[in-house]
Amino acid sequence: MNRTFGNTDLKTSSIVYGCMGGAGAFGAQEEKDSIEALQEAFNVGINFFDTAEAYGDGYSEQLLARALGDKRSELVISSKVTPANMAPDDLIDACERSLKNLGTDHIDLYMLHWPNRDVPFADSIGALQKLKQDGKIRWFGVSNFGTRDLDEALGLGEISVNQLPYHLFFRAIEFEVQPKCEAAGVPIMCYSSLMQGLLAGKYRSLQEFPVNRARTRMFDHRKWAEVVHTETGAEDAGQELLDALWALVEQTGLSMEELAIGWLKSRPAVGGVIVGTRNAAQSRDLKKLLDVELDAATLQTLSDASNRLKEDLGSDIDMWGKNRTR
């Protein structure tokens, strides 16, 4: 069942279909599979689709148009502008390109993808306000904004979303950003909700995780080739959580995805949970994530099991430790 997204008039599904993978972000991807995955996500009841100009340099937006262009009136589409295009004229041009890619005359929710501190937020948000006045976008917001950046943005205009990394293996937003969003009435759209597959019930050990995905601050920089941060990680706490999740899968009969997404859907200020797929069969499985609701005892068990990792990783909301947020 769809609900109103924050303070907007958008009626959205609780699961947001994430379009990044369809453009090849997680490996080679057949266009036919991507299109069928999008169509089947819509068929199971998802009406909210999240993309960005950065995903395949506009290809993700084009795929969405090819797959579901004839359903435009039934969709809620969010897209994002890259930091390189946040000067006012560049931002407006970027929006026009996205509109063309999407084959539509408006974007429902348009976001600043990451902070760009070389361009005053007042300039970028001023351009967003103009786009809204001109009917090119309906609502606007931000992504990856910490408390200081969010405070500044909120002082400049109505922010309708903050898209953030959030899942059982990464709860950094809970220290400062989530309470700020809740108090300000800004819904959170959670990305990386299945931790790039770690929460998909495929791995019993962190050591089995593909090296090209093991890049977050949980992983020890001394042991993983693609890590860019310099932290020693929190792998003991991470493995402890993974073990607890497998035990709960066995106890409840629910899949790990249902546990992970059900927990996120229950969290304060969460307005949507982004999940992506690679083919139609995977998209059909999203129906159970739309429907899942966890009881209070299971929710508490999940929170308790992930508390140690939360504390070990702390409050830095840049999941990859690149010092891009504040």
Q: Which residues are known catalytic residues?
A: 55
Residues 226 and 149: their CA atoms lie apart, in Å, by: 28
